[in-house]
Each structure stands twice: as C-alpha cells, then as structure tokens.
Chain A
Amino acid sequence: MPQTLYDKIWNNHLVGTRSDGLSVLYIDRHLLHEVTSPQAFEGLKNNRRSIWRLDANLATPDHAIPTVGRSLGLDGIDDPIAKEQVITLQENCADFKVNLIDLLDERQGIVHVIGPEQGATLPGTTIVCGDSHTSTHGAFGALAHGIGTSEVEHVLATQCLVQEKSGNMRIHCFGSLSHGLAPKDVILAIIAQIGTAGATGYTVEYTGQAIEEMSMEGRMTVCNMSIEAGARAGLVSPDIVTYAYLEDRPMAPKGDMWDQALSSWEKLRTDEDAHFDKEVDIDVEALSPQVSWGTNPELVSAVDSAIPNPDSFETEAQRETGWRALQYMDLEPDRPIETIPIDRVFIGSCTNARIEDMRAAARVVQGRRVSSALKGAYVVPGSGLVKLHAESEGLDTIFKEAGFEWRDPGCSMCLAMNNDRLYPGERCASTSNRNFEGRQGHLGRTHLMSPQSAAASAITGYITDVRGIL
C-alpha cells in the first residue's frame, strides 16, 4: 500500500502494542528545557527510575532566562524563582548525566533553534520535547511532537512515547513567494484559512513549489506554527536543501556514515497515490504580507486590507470570538491594518530567530531609524551561534545603529517569563507565534507578522506593508 512520509516514519518507529492496546513509538531524540522538565526528573527520582538512553537527550535553559547580562551566568538572573529553575535543570542534568548546553555555552539557545543547529535533528527521526513548538523539527522530515511533563518523564524512563496514530493531511502551497513575502506569511495565511483547529488530529505534510523553494529556516518557520492550526506534527520531505543544511553539523553523521544516512533519507518521501485524509491547497503567488489583529492565530488579515467585521463570520462562536478579540485588542472593524500604531517590536522566538530572519529584518532596517514613538524594539537571536553568525555579518551593528536592542538568546518576549514583556495596553509587532491574551505580558496586545514586516513597522511606528519600504 502506498504510504505517506508520516506513515513511513511511524512504521519505522513502532515498537509494539501495550497490554492496554495503545501503540508504543520509539523516540530518537528528546530535547529538554528548564520549565517543563523539573517535575519529570522529580518523578524519576521518586520512583527510582533511570534514564533509558542517555545520549538521546539534550537539554538547555531557554524559556525563563533573561536576555541581558548573559556573561554573568546565574548571577545575571534577578528573578530568584527563574534562577531556581535553571539551577534545578543544572542539578538534574548533572545527577542523571544528561548533556546540557548551559547558560554560558555559546551554543545555548531556544531548544528548537539549537536542535537543528547542532545536527541533533535529522530526517526520519522521532523527536519530542516538552514544548508544543517541537513541530519545528518536522522541517527536516522528522516526526516531532510536543509533549506534556508526564510524557517527558515517560520518554526519559522508556525511550518511548505512547501514541495513537493521527490522520494524514497535506497542505499544498502553489506558486512562488514574491518580493517582501516570507514563510511566516505563508503559515499565517494557512492558519487564517483552515482555523486554529483546522489540523487537529492530523500530521500535516507541506508540499508544493513554495515549500521546495524555501530554505531550512523558512521550512522551520512553517512547521513551527503547525501547532497553531492544531496539528499533531508538521512535516516537509527532506531534499538537497535539507542535506546542505545538515552536512558538517556537530551531531550529524560524517564520512561514510553520512553517505549511508543520505541513501536512507532519500526514501523519506510520500509515495505517489498515497492517501491523505484531508487536503488543502493554498496559492501563495498573490499573497500579501499577513498580520494578526485578534487574540488567536486564525484572526489574521493581509496588511493591505482592513480588519474584518466579525458580524460577517460564519458561526455564532466565531462572531463572539471576533468581537471579544477586537475589544481586547482595542480595535474596530473596517479599520485599515496599516493605521494601527505600535509600542514595541519583538524580532525573535523559535518561529523567527534564525540567521535568515536576522538578515531579512536587517535588510529592511539598514540605514533607517526605529520610530521615536516606540517604547522599545528588541532583536533576540535564537541561539548564541545565531548571534555570533549575525555579528560576523555586521547585522548587530545595523540593528543597533537603527535603535534596536541586540539581546542575548532565549525565548524572551515570545512568552514573557522574564522581564522582556509588554505592559498593560501596549501593542507589539511580533515575529513570535501566539497572540493569545496576555501572552507577551499582562494585558499586552500582540500582532504576529514576519521579521520583514516587524522591521518595517519598527521604522514607521505603525503596522506597515514592507513592500512599500523595500
């Protein structure tokens, strides 16, 4: 029977069935961070269990750490509770001998940035992490699931995840992206089209010219936000772009092993005639930059359009959600998106903090100044290595000269667990992935967009169509 890429990876990792009938899936890579792991390690300790396979695990602190004063290490963390969390991760990794990329390591960064960067993320593997954006790693043709803390403990103890197979869904992206458009615009448009539960119960494979033409960074941006459409995982078939990215990465295979891996990865393709339970097409050729105006990631419009009237939405629930969102966002229907002023700009997060994102934003910013109306504009590279790379290209200077703050790597204002946050009522142009109420700070208002769009908005102080600036 013809198989999808998801079917193949699933079958390659299916260990068997438990006595209660649930499937057991072998896990190749497990990424850990300070926020969702402490209770899992505690569970292991309480039950005197050990870690099944040490070298499958890789840990780093990223969620709650500050993005200034990194060279001070632990002393740079003012918040005693966040500090305890980082120390707990250090202690747990030491006790269990888990490979930790620690605070002062130049490779430290957001888990979903460093996994690929280190070559820990490989095609055909299964990857889990106690974080919903683990879907990012699907860009490499890896089956990557976000899991809860009980499952983190379960994977540590058994190297397996208990799962039921999800459905197969394909999202086909026709056409090529035009100038000023970014992979972020593609995924925002997809979520706007299918909704926040449009892929619930499915593993989504992204196909089509637009995906093939994307860099790995771009594919990661798309797969990253699969979870915002409810998907169990996102996938892109590996190809020469994937291999070129991975070759020579520290944890990627070398020499003969590389060749052997390559010939195995070549088979990671959906068979012709394989069946998809759900298919969606999207034409990206005529796409405008996308911006969210509400409080969930399906409330998105083209930057050159106006906020829709929720009364025009299909169901009563959607109308209610729309009106509630407008109230929270302090916006009104029919208002042109480009007339919305912003208070802060955040370029960062596991969605858009890789080198290509830094470059794309820097190109817009170069030779310009951040609007004096802004209260703050942050660029937060996704990892220490992204930061160094960007600095070697002089991007930090471009940002700093324009009036941006060039910060240390971490999740930062994506979820505002540290001091990088919005204050009540503030409005942010953000390259992150969630615009939920209060996500970026208590009563803060988030507009999701691409790095290019966020950079353009920083310059004008309003949400801006980057195509008019480039």
Chain B
Amino acid sequence: MSSNQASFKTHKGSVIPLDLANVDTDQIIPKQFLKSIKKTGFGDNLFDAWRYEDEGEIGKPVSSRIPRKDFVLNDDRYTNGSILLARRNFACGSSREHAVWALLQYGIRAVIAPSFADIFFNNCFNNGLLPISLSEEEVESLFELATGDKPLQLEVNLVTKTISVPGGQTWTFEVDEKRQYQLIHGLDEIGLTLELADKIKQFEERHLQQNPWL
C-alpha cells in the first residue's frame, strides 16, 4: 500500500482559542483566494477578513497588511499555535477544501470543537488534519485553560485517542476506527478504493444493465 497522503499520529503544540460558534469556511478562507488553481499558498490568508483591517487579495504581501489587533491569530500569546480550539458547528458552509489547506499551511494540525460540519470533516481526513470533537463542557474547560497569560500546551495522540496537558489533565476523544487507521497510516485514498477496481467494474456493468438510461 502506498502512503502518499499526509498522516497524523501525535502532535505537541499550543492552543489558539477562537471563541466563536458557526465559524464558516467563507471566514476560514474568503472567496477571492479560491481563484488559485494551486493547492498551496493559502496560509497567509487564513481568516483573512478577521485577521487584517484591509481587504485581502491574491498576491498582496503580508508585510503590507494591517493586522487587526483584537483577532486571536494576532495575539502574541498564540502566534506559534498549532491546535485550533473553537465552538460548535465549526467550518459550516461551502465545501471548499481550501479551508483545510489554509489551516494546514498556516501550521494548524488539529482542530478541537464540540461539532463540525460534515463536508469539512471529510476534507480533514483527506489531508491529514485531525478534527477532534469534545463535549461542550470539555471545550469550555479547554477555553478556560487556553485563555490564561501563557499559551496552553497540549499533546494530541491519535493512537491512544487522548489530549493531555503535559504532566496534567487528560481528555479522551472518539474517532471512527476506520478514520483513525486512515489518518495514522496516511493511506492513499484513491489507491485503497482501486483495490476494489474489479468489484466496481462488476457493479457498474450490472447497474448500467438495470438502468440503461444512465
């Protein structure tokens, strides 16, 4: 089995607390950046409209931008963060996978929230970004820990399905076993499906016989 896809086993990093519910993918990466035909270069424009005062455009250098002081990514405590913490229904809206690419390219490796929108959730697994659902209460307690003077350091372990503060509290999370396997091994999704190529062919033949108008 080739494994050409990004994988995720464990990650240590600090938390960026984005205290908002229903964060939509239009905010994660605004539409003007979707004109790119590439898969890279989105990190500087993650949360563009919240992050900068001026309107962003493709190719506008970061050095010329005016950061919004009150936005969490511009807070000195969180500039090196790699674990995003947010409220319910994270990444709802548009299916744009650019949202996942932007998060990863900014340096985010895991997102913790009480719930995620479906399409984004799938897109994460196809790119090696780990979405972690915890209960509202657990997320609340993480927000409390993450908004102190010092950034909250966490260790995320997909193998043991735990999040822990080094030398401190531990939370466990649920993840579908198959998804867990897929992410740990960074399996080539298309290759995995193509293992079934004969089966797909047989199915297709029968299906088109039964529904010849297709």
Query: Are B190 and A49 closer than 8 Å at their CB atoms?
Result: yes
**A residues in contact with B119, CB < 8 Å:** 132, 146-148
B14 within 8 A of A: no
Please state if A158 and B200 are interface contacts (CB–CB under 8 Å): yes
- Of all chain B residues, the one with the shortest Cβ separation from A261 is B213
Q: In this assembly, does A257 line the interface, its C-beta being within 8 Å of a C-beta of chain B?
A: yes
For the complex, what is the distance from the CA of A232 to the CA of B126, rounded to whole Å? 18
Contact A81 B58, CB 8 Å, known A150-B126, A230-B89: yes
Q: Would A131 and B213 count as touching, CB distance under 8 A?
A: no
Residue in B21, B24, B127, B207 whose CB lies within 8 Å of A436: B24
Tell me the residues in window 427-464 of chain A with beta carbons closer than 8 Å to chain B beta carbons: 434, 436-439, 442-443
A327 within 8 A of B: no
**Cβ-defined contact, B190 with A164, below 8 A:** no
CB of A318 to closest CB in B, whole Å = 8
Contact call B27/A26, Cβ cutoff below 8 A: no
Complex CA distance for A200 and B121, rounded to whole angstroms: 11
Closest Cβ of chain A to B197, distance in Å, is 8
Residues of A within 8 Å of B174, CB to CB, are: none
Q: Are A162 and B193 within 8 A (Cβ)?
A: yes
For the complex, is B211 an interface residue (Cβ under 8 Å from A)? yes
Whole-angstrom distance between the Cβ of B158 and the nearest chain A Cβ: 15
User: What 0/1 pattern do residues 185 to 208 of B give for CB contact below 8 A with A?
Assistant: 001011011111101100110010
Binds A, one of B33-41, B70-78, B148-156, B160-168: B33-41
User: Shortest Cβ distance from B185 into chain A, in angstroms?
Assistant: 9
CA distance A246 to B10 in the complex (A): 52
- What 1/0 flags go to B72-87 for Cβ under 8 Å of A? 0000000000000001
Instruction: Determine whether B117 belongs to the interface, using a CB cutoff of 8 Å to chain A.
Output: yes
Given A38-B37, A196-B89, A201-B118: A18 touches B31 (CB 8 Å cut-off): no
Interfacial chain B residues near A415, Cβ < 8 Å: 26, 31, 94
Q: Is the interface of A mostly helix, strand, loop or mixed?
A: loop
Query: Nearest residue in B to A84 (C-beta to C-beta)?
Result: B37
The answer to the question of B30 belonging to the interface, with a C-beta cut-off of 8 Å to chain A, is: yes
Interface centre among A85, A122, A150, A164, by most chain B C-beta atoms within 10 angstroms, is A150
Asked if B178 and A22 make an inter-chain contact with CB atoms under 8 angstroms apart, the answer reads yes
- The closest CB in chain A to the CB of B59 belongs to A81
Whether the pair B212, A88 counts as a contact (CB closer than 8 A) is: no
B117 near A150 with CB under 8 A, answer: no
A15→B21 contact, CB < 8 A: no
Within the complex, what minimum Cβ distance (angstroms) separates A88 from chain B?
Answer: 5
Contact across chains for B196 and A18 when beta carbons are under 8 A apart? yes
Which residues of chain B are near A209, meaning CB under 8 Å? Answer: none
User: A159 at the A/B interface (Cβ < 8 Å)?
Assistant: yes
The answer to whether the Cβ of A39 comes within 8 Å of any Cβ in the partner chain is yes
A40–chain B nearest beta-carbon distance, Å: 9
Q: Are B35 and A253 in contact, with the CB atoms below 8 A?
A: no
Interface size class of A (residues with CB under 8 A): 35 or more
Would A39 and B35 count as touching, CB distance under 8 A?
Answer: no
Given A18-B196, A21-B177, A130-B95: A150 touches B189 (CB 8 Å cut-off): yes
Q: Which of B21, B88, B192 contacts A18 (CB under 8 A)?
A: B192
- Taking a contact as CB atoms closer than 8 A, the residue among B26, B35, B95, B118 that contacts A82 in the complex is B35
Q: B89 to A200, Cβ gap below 8 A?
A: yes
Asked if B181 is at the interface (CB within 8 A of a chain A CB), the reply is yes
Q: Which of A1-37 contact B (CB under 8 A)?
A: 12-13, 15-16, 18-22, 24, 26, 28, 35-36
Quote the shortest CB–CB distance from B108 to chain A (angstroms): 17
Q: Are A436 and B35 in contact (CB under 8 A)?
A: no
Which chain A residues lie closer than 8 Å to B36 at the CB level? Answer: 81
Residue in B24, B190, B210 whose CB lies within 8 Å of A47: B190
B27 contact set on A, CB distance < 8 A: 436-438
Q: How far is the CA of A187 from the CA of B114 in the complex (A)?
A: 26
**How close is B161's CB to chain A, nearest CB, in angstroms?**
17
Known: A196-B89, A437-B27. A257 touches B213 (CB 8 A): yes
Contact B115 A416 (CB under 8 A): no
A132 touches B181 (CB 8 A): no
Residues on the A chain within 8 Å of B22, using CB: 196-197, 296, 321
Residues in B with CB closer than 8 Å to A49 are: 190
Interface centre among B20, B30, B31, B204 (most CB of A within 10 A): B31
Q: Does A165 contact B (CB under 8 A)?
A: no
Interface string of B87-102 (1 = CB under 8 A from A): 1110011111110100
- Cβ contact of B117, chosen from A53, A200, A436, cutoff 8 A: A200
Q: How far is the CB of A396 from chain B (nearest CB, A)?
A: 28
Q: Is B157 an interface residue (CB 8 A)?
A: no
Contact at B123–A150, with CB atoms within 8 Å?
A: yes
CB-defined contacts of B94 to chain A, threshold 8 Å: 131-132, 415, 434
Known interface pairs A84-B37, A261-B213; A16-B95 also in contact (CB < 8 Å): no
Q: How far is the CA of A268 from the CA of B85 in the complex (A)?
A: 43
Known pairs A24-B193, A85-B37; list 19 more (Cβ under 8 Å): A15-B196, A16-B199, A18-B196, A38-B38, A39-B97, A79-B35, A88-B37, A132-B94, A150-B127, A157-B190, A157-B194, A158-B194, A162-B193, A166-B118, A253-B213, A264-B210, A321-B20, A434-B26, A436-B26
6 contacts between A and B (CB under 8 A): A36-B95, A79-B35, A197-B88, A261-B211, A296-B22, A438-B27
Q: A-side interface residues toward B, CB under 8 Å?
A: 12-13, 15-16, 18-22, 24, 26, 28, 35-36, 38-39, 42, 47, 49, 52-53, 63-64, 79, 81-82, 84-85, 88, 122, 124-125, 130-132, 146-151, 153-154, 157-160, 162, 164, 166, 196-197, 200-201, 227-228, 230, 232, 252-253, 257-258, 260-261, 264, 296, 317-318, 320-321, 324, 415-417, 424, 434, 436-439, 442-443
Going nearest first, the 5 A-B pairs with the smallest beta carbon separation are A253-B213, A150-B126, A38-B37, A148-B97, A148-B123
